[in-house]
Amino acid sequence: MLIVMLYIKNILTLLYNIFLLKIYKLNLVTRMSNYSKYIWFNGKFTDFKNAKIHVLSHCIHYGSAVFEGIKCYNTDKGPAIFKLKEHMERLHESANAFKINIPFDANTLCNAAIELVRKNEVKDCYLRPIAYYGFDTLGVHPKKCPVEVAIATLDWGAYVSKEALIKGAKITISPWRKYKSNAFPSSTKAAGPYLNSMLAVQDAKSRGFDEALLLNEDDSIAEGSGQNIFLIKNNIFYTNDQSSNILLGITRSTLFQLIKDLGYNYEIKSLSQDDLFSADEIFYCGSASEVTPIRQIDNHIVGDGKSGKITLNLQEKYYNIVRGKEEKYYKWLSFIN
């Protein structure tokens, strides 16, 4: 009798855990679908659950997709998308590098993104446009595979972490090296090459770090798994260029202007590990990462082990601009209403 009762108890526990798992998945899907009730899909708005592709699509097997990461911020004038046109133009540039002929021009995609934010009734969000080869052939050559395009809104939050934005991130130099520009065009955002970044950030997280830093084959500094890097030494900003196999980030180019506006200078050059470890301040930047201070690299403490004061000033300037608090920079914002 006792054995039977234990058996029944185990069965009930198993069923209960399965029930909880289903509820968790349902809540996750519901939360995501509520944030992106509609997805712009090949020129039309479709329900979240109906935005699907075939399992034999070329992009699934070979990573033949290009994408963008764009932020929309709530402002006193309502939601506004930051540097929308620049992102959609870069999406086309990335697509052209891989001969992916996007059937919608940049202006059409910009209008679609604005209408999507409005239709989904979101204020702060992350937008993910993506263009990819769909299903026609499983050969590596895409031949007549159709190019499909989608845009979704996501509730992403702080990319590294909220704590890192304030106190600074702990990063590690990755054992994985950055691929060379003669292997993939590095200044494009393409799905396949991001496996390099995935390996780096998986390794970093598994060892207790917030993010990874990739080096080039010559041991020079490349970039983070999804961020550009800046160093500050004696009040001068330093960052690297395309010869270091980096993405020429839109946030990176934005910061060049803000650095000047704050009264500082910057230099673009190849960055060595000596430059890295002798810097007074270090930070990552990107559309998702925004301006994220770095306080530690492996066992090396950056500066006094806290977020740098100049970095935080730049971060505050950046947040004021993207949240519409400085009219001078309205040209960078696409207001929804």
**Residues 295, 169 contacting (CB under 8 angstroms):** yes
Dihedrals φ, ψ of 75, to 5°?
Answer: -125, 175
Q: One-letter amino acid identity for 263?
A: G
Joined together, the tokens standing for residue 112 give: 């679609």
SS3 content of the chain, % helix, strand, coil (to 5): 40, 25, 35
Question: What is the distance between the alpha carbons of residues 326 and 305, in angstroms, rounded to a whole number?
Answer: 31
Dihedrals φ, ψ of 170, to 5°?
Answer: -105, 120
**CA nearest 227: which of 258, 254, 251?**
251
Question: What is the distance between the alpha carbons of residues 149 and 113, in angstroms, rounded to a whole number?
Answer: 12
User: Of 71, 170, 189, 317, which is the active-site residue?
Assistant: 189
Q: What is the DSSP string of 183-230?
A: TS-TTS-BTTTHHHHHHHHHHHHHTT-SEEEEEPTTS-EEEESS-EEE
Which DSSP category does 141 fall into? S
Annotation says 189 is catalytic: yes
Residues annotated catalytic, as ranges: 189
